[in-house]
Structure 1
Amino acid sequence: MTGSADLPRVVVAVPPDLRAQFFAPEEWARLASGADLTVLDAHTDRGALARALPGARALITSWGTPRLEGEILDAADALELVAHTGSAVAPYVGEDVFRRGIAVTQAGDAMAGPVAEVALAFTLALLHRVHRFDHALRTGADWETASAAPPRHEIRGSRIGVIGASRTGRAYASLVRALGAEVAVTDPYLGAEEARALGVRAVPLPELLAASRVVAVHAPATAETRHLIGAPQLALMPDGAGLVNTARSWLVDEDALAAELASGRLDAAIDVFDAEPLPVGHPFRTLPNVLLTPHQAAGTVECRLRLGAFAVTEVLRALRGEPPLHPVGPEALARLH
C-alpha cells in the first residue's frame, strides 16, 4: 500500500476499518498518485508512529492517533501538514506543532450537515413524542396506555432554541427554520446584525431556555462551556420541553439531566455521553422520555467519505505548495474534544 519512492512521503495513521469508510477507491488512488504512502494499521502505536514520521511531509490522523508531542514530534523532521479526519484537533496536536510551522487542518465542515440532520430528527421525535410511543409499545403497554403522552406539537410555529452558532448550530437552525420554526440562538460571539442575517434572534441563555419547546446544544467543548447546562438551567425549561444533544456531553451536567428526566418533566434525545460506551445500567436506558443513539450522528456513509476526501485534498495541496482550505491555528486548542 505504498506509492513510488520518488514521490513525497505521507503517513496515513488510519486503521483498516476507517480507511475503508473514509477513502473511496478513486480518492485513495488520487492520494497514492501524488505520494509515497506509509500506512499504519496499528494507528494508536506511539512507537510505530515515531518510526514512520522521519522524512514524511504530511500526516493524516484519525480518532486514536497519538498526540504529536515529545519524541513523536521530534521524529517529524520534514513534516509540513497534519490533516485530521475529524473536527477537534486538540487531542492530536499541541502548541509545539504550530510553533514549528506545521500546518493543521480539520474536516468539521464535512460533519455539520449530518449532525444537523440528526438533531432535526431528534427535534421532530421529541415534538411528536415518538420515543414515548415506541417505548410504551415495546415494553408491553396496552394500546390505551401506550397512546397516552404529553401534548404534542408541530415544528411549524414552535420556538426552537439553539445553544451555539457553530457550523452545526447554523446548519440545524437553517433546517428547522425551513420547516417553519421560530429560532432563537444564544452565543456570546453572535451579534444582533449577524443573527438577523441568519434569520434568528440572538437572546441570553436564560431567555432561550425559558421560551423554547426544544433546545438543541451545538456549542464547542471548551473550559468555559463545561456543564453550561446544569440543574439551574434545566429548571428554567418549561414542562414538556425537550433537550437535544448531538454535540458533547461535556456541555450538560449528566447527573442533573438524569434527575430531571427521571421526574418526567422534560424529554431528551441524546447522542453523546460522559461514559462511552454508555453503561448497561445507566438510568437513561430505561426512561420512556429519552431517545438514545450511540454517538453516531456524523456516521453516514456520505459524511465519512467526505472526511477522507477533505484530507486527501489538503495533503495534495500541501505537497504542491498550495495553502490549506480548512486550516486551524493555535486557537483551536481551546476546543478540548
Structure 2
Amino acid sequence: MPGSGEARFDRPGADGGPAVVAVAVPPGLRTEFFGETADAAAGEPEVGVLTERLRGLGRIVVVDDPRDLPALRAAFARADVVVSSWGMPRLTGELLAAAPRVGLLAHTGAAIAPYVGADAFARGVRVTQAGQGMARSVAEVALAFTLALLHRTHRYDHALRGGREWAAASVAPPRHEVFGARIGVVGASRTGRAYIEVVRALGARVQVADPTLTAPEAARIGAELVPLDRLLSTSRIVALHAPSLPETRHLIGARELALLADGAGLVNTARSWLVDEDALLAALRTGRIDAALDVYDAEPLPLGHGFRALPNVLLTPHQAAGTVECRRRQGDIVVDEVERYLTGRSLDHEVGPEALIRVG
C-alpha cells in the first residue's frame, strides 16, 4: 500500500468503476493493523497478507495523517469506503458533504462517536467497528492487574525502585491468590466476558453487576449476578468493564469507593469516565485500597498527577489493547467488513446511531 498514492483494481464502486477505499490510518498503525512494513533498502512497502487482501478490494487511497483535513476531503471525494483510526475528525458536516459516495465507515477501534455523526447515519452511511478484536488483550491486561494487586507486586516494585531498605520494602498488606478469590466485574461487555473467562480459568469466584443481564445469563458465563453495592463490598478485586454511557458517568464515586473492603483493589482498563478520579485519588491516598489503571481523565497523564507518586497504584499509559495479536485481529475485522460490504453481504460488526451515545 503506497504511503501517499493509490493502486487500481476491478471491483465496482458507486460510479460503476473500481471501488475506492480511503484508508485514513497513519503508517505505523497501518503496519500494526494490516502488516504493511517499509523496505528501507528499496524504499517500497512490503505488503502483508491483510494489505494484499485490502488491495484486492478496489483502489486504495491512503491518508497518512488522519488529521489532515485537505487530504481527507480529497480522498473522501471519490471514496466508497472510509477506514478510520484514532485522530480522524468526525465524518459529519462539511467533511461528510465532501464524501458523497461514501457508504461505509469501517473503524479500526471500538467507540465510533468521535469519528461519525448522526447526519452520516441519516444519509445512510453504514458503520462498523473492530472492538471485538480488542477484548482478549484488554482482558489479559486486566488479569495481569488483578494478579499484581492480589500479590502487591506494584508496592514492592515501587519500594525497591524508590530506594527503601530491603526490610522496609518487604512490608505490604496481606497478599492473596486468585484461586478462590471473589472477583467483581462491573459490566458484562465483550471485554468483561473475556475477563470473566480468564479469571475463572484460574479458579476465581466471579460476581457481576450489569443491569442488562439476567441471573440465568450471568450463570451461563460463570458468574453470579449481584447488585453493585454488594459487589463492591464483597469483592477482593473489582474490575470495571462497563460502557461509557451517560448513566455510567462516575458510576464509581466516593460513596462506592467507601464500600470497598480494606485491602481491596480496583482495576480500570475501560474508561476513566466510569470513575470519579478525584474521589479515587483521595481514597488511594489513605492507603486503604489499591488500584491498577490504564485510563485517565487527562491523557497523557500529567507529570505532576497524584497517581504517579502513590505506592499502591499500578499505572500503564492506555496501552491495554496494544498487543501485536490484537492489532492484527482489528485489521482482520476491518478488511472482512469492507469485503462484505463491497460484495453485498451482511456485516458482522455493524453499529447503528445508538452507538453515538457511548462516550469516547
Residues paired across the two proteins, number: 337
The one-letter amino acid of 1:306's match is R
Give the Cα separation in 2 of the matches to 1:239 and 1:334.
35
Q: Tell me if the contact between 1:50 and 1:71 (Cα under 8 Å) persists in the aligned partners.
A: no
Give the Cα separation in 2 of the matches to 1:239 and 1:22.
42
Q: Tell me if the contact between 1:50 and 1:75 (Cα under 8 Å) persists in the aligned partners.
A: yes
The more displaced of 28-37 and 155-164 is 28-37
1:269 aligned onto 2:269? no
Q: How far off is 1:55 after superposition?
A: 2.8
Q: How far off is 1:5 after superposition?
A: 5.8
CA-to-partner distance for each residue in 1:111-163, whole Å, 9 max, x for gaps?
00000000000000000000011111111111111111100001111110000
- SS of corresponding position for 2:328: helix
1:222 aligned onto 2:245? yes
1:93-112 to structure 2, matched below 5 A, reads 93-112=116-135
Q: Which residue matches 1:196? A: 219
Q: How far off is 1:178 after superposition?
A: 1.1
1:41-52 to structure 2, matched below 5 A, reads 41-52=64-75
Give the Cα separation in 2 of the matches to 1:170 and 1:311.
22
The one-letter amino acid of 2:7's match is G
Report the TM-score when normalising by structure 2: 0.92
1:12 aligned onto 2:23? yes
1:1-337 to structure 2, matched below 5 A, reads 1=2, 2-4=6-8, 6=10, 7-24=18-35, 25-337=48-360
CA RMSD of aligned residues (A): 1.0
Structure 2, unaligned runs of 5 or more: 11-17, 36-47
- SS of corresponding position for 2:21: strand
- SS of corresponding position for 2:7: coil
Give the Cα separation in 1 of the matches to 2:263 and 2:111.
33
The one-letter amino acid of 1:228's match is L
The one-letter amino acid of 2:31's match is A
Give the Cα separation in 2 of the matches to 1:171 and 1:251.
19
Give the Cα separation in 1 of the matches to 2:9 and 2:56.
11
The more displaced of 255-264 and 33-42 is 33-42
Give the Cα separation in 2 of the matches to 1:316 and 1:199.
35
Structure 1, unaligned runs of 5 or more: none
The one-letter amino acid of 1:130's match is T
The one-letter amino acid of 1:155's match is V
Give the Cα separation in 2 of the matches to 1:164 and 1:54.
40
Q: Tell me if the contact between 1:3 and 1:33 (Cα under 8 Å) persists in the aligned partners.
A: no
Report the TM-score when normalising by structure 1: 0.98
The one-letter amino acid of 2:117's match is G
Give the Cα separation in 2 of the matches to 1:255 and 1:99.
39
The one-letter amino acid of 1:291's match is L
Give the Cα separation in 2 of the matches to 1:237 and 1:110.
32
4+ long deviations beyond 3 Å:
none
CA-to-partner distance for each residue in 1:77-117, whole Å, 9 max, x for gaps?
11111000000001111211111121110001000000000
The more displaced of 90-99 and 211-220 is 90-99
Q: How far off is 1:70 after superposition?
A: 0.9
- SS of corresponding position for 1:34: coil
CA-to-partner distance for each residue in 1:165-205, whole Å, 9 max, x for gaps?
10000110111111111111001101111011111111111
Q: Which residue matches 2:15? A: none
The more displaced of 16-25 and 85-94 is 16-25
Q: Tell me if the contact between 2:33 and 2:328 (Cα under 8 Å) persists in the aligned partners.
A: yes
- SS of corresponding position for 1:60: strand
The more displaced of 90-99 and 112-121 is 90-99
Q: How far off is 1:288 after superposition?
A: 0.5
Give the Cα separation in 2 of the matches to 1:200 and 1:318.
37
Identical aligned pairs, as a percentage?
A: 62
